[in-house]
Amino acid sequence: MNRLTKITTRSGDQGKTGLADGSRVDKDSLRIQALGDLDELNAALGLLAVEADDDHSAAIAEIQQRLFDLGGELALPGSTGIHERHVQKLEQQTETINAELPPLKEFVLPGGNRAAAQAHLARAICRRAERSLWGLSRTEALNSESLKFLNRLSDLLFVMARQMTRRETTDEATWNRKP
């Protein structure tokens, strides 16, 4: 089955877009906002994957698949694509990477190197997507595992960024509190 045989449909020219169940919703609805934030996050992860080493790229590719699953939940209300096992996998990956890192004494400034900076940017976009999903959850029932998934993903992206920085240097730029 071909999903996208015609790209320009003109069906959204009046400010509405279609969901997978055939219903039409406003393009600025909370659901579509959340879908757009997930799309932006997935694009940022694609850029990160290009810069990352093979281990990180493989993990990112799997995460991108799960983000499409999460998007599927939003496009087809009532469906479930994210499960507890997906959240647990992110937690395990975060714990594994974090165990290799020295404890933090201060906030890390985003940067480090190109890949680390892209991981920090993806983390910030992930946080926005999480906020969008929470906003939608205040008006509609959502899969609680999807909310957890984005929260854990931002943690993973943070420790990935730290690891990517430390693979090139032992110095991480941190917040320098001025009294």
Half-sphere exposure of 139 (CA within 13 A, CB side): 8
Instruction: Count other Cβ atoms within 10 Å, centred on residue 54.
Output: 7
pLDDT at 125: 98
Instruction: Count other Cβ atoms within 10 Å, centred on residue 56.
Output: 19
> Angle at the Cα of 44 (from 4 to 164), degrees rounded to 5?
140
Structural domain harbouring 107: 23-166
Q: Are strands 24-26 and 16-18 parallel, antiparallel or unpaired?
A: antiparallel
Residue 136 lies in a domain: yes
Residue 5 lies in a domain: no
Residue 31 lies in a domain: yes
Residue 60 lies in a domain: yes
CA distance 168 to 179: 31
The CATH number of the domain where 134 resides is what? Answer: 1.20.1200.10
Region 135-144: mean pLDDT is 95
Q: For the chain, how many structural domains are there in total?
A: 1
Residue 130 lies in a domain: yes
CA distance 17 to 27: 6
Residue 24 has pLDDT above 90, yes or no: no
pLDDT at 6: 58
pLDDT at 168: 79
The tokens describing 132, both together, are 């969008």
| % residues pLDDT > 90 (the chain) | 64
Region 132-154: mean pLDDT is 96
- What amino acid occupies position 126? C
